[in-house]
Amino acid sequence: MSDHTRAQFEAAVVERMKESGFLEIEIRTECLVRCDEGYEDEVINAGWHYWNAALAVAAAPPAEGGRDYQARVAKAHHALFHDDPTDVEERLARFFEEAVETCQALGMNFADAHKLVNYTYDRPVGEPAKEIGAAMLTLASLCVVAGYDLMECAEADLEKLQRPETIARIRAKRTTRHGRGPLPGFDPNAGQKPCGIADPSSRDCPNMKEVGGGMDGERYRCAVCGKSYYLDYEEMK
């Protein structure tokens, strides 16, 4: 590796460790002591290895079809979202979910995940383009060390995404999602329409559900629009 590459790595190490309160002179004299092609400090030396491995992946020619991967994802968006548009908020939630699931699948525990969330949100907000680049770089580095082909995994998921049965499942799931909040899943009331009846009862509103009552009657409420009525036993006599 070139002296420029090593200088970039050392500058990144200094920047990160200074955030933890170390002085640059301490970092360079205690942590960045060079040894042959690496460093005496085992943690720094491992980081240097991962850094070079990630640079090698980034410099390699893209896999067939990899260059236009984002364009093909954008094309797949049309089948999924053309009549129910997605947005940055929803994509952020799904990206975060998949990133967490990846970490979980490779062994990260709940406590460490929460520590990293707290650590990240205690720091200044980053610039999106820089953070996206760092996310891709560190994912590629993770794949190098964990033994996975990044583009092979990505292509397999895109192929699955474009299957008719997958499109139908995702579209159905989005019609019953929990509004625009971060959590995926189903809302049993989503997709239901209010009956439109000014004074509904359980006989003419399909969304009425019993919510209480007592010795004298029963209370019902529409699960969609919230209108309610009281069934009085005395009036039924």
How far is Cα of residue 64 from the mean position of the Cα atoms in its chain?
26
Alpha-carbon gap, residue 99 to 92, rounded angstroms: 10
| Percent of the chain residues past pLDDT 70, beyond the cut | 68
Dump pLDDT digits (tens) for 179-192: 556 776 555 554 45
The pLDDT score that the predictor gives to residue 103 is 95
E-strand spans in 34-137?
Answer: 34-35, 38-39
In this predicted structure, the answer to whether residue 237 has a pLDDT above a threshold of 60 is no
Instruction: Give the containing element (helix H, strand E) for 125.
Output: none
Alpha-carbon gap, residue 10 to 171, rounded angstroms: 48
Residues 68 and 56 in one domain: no
Residues 6 or more apart whose Cβ sits within 8 Å of residue 65: 72, 155
Residues 40 and 128 in one domain: no
Residue-number span of the structural domain to which 9 is assigned: 1-60
How far is Cα of residue 204 from the mean position of the Cα atoms in its chain?
42
Residues 44 and 128 in one domain: no
Dump pLDDT digits (tens) for 96-124: 999 999 999 999 999 999 999 999 999 99
Residues 183 and 89 in one domain: yes
Residues 19 and 85 in one domain: no
Residues 178 and 208 in one domain: no
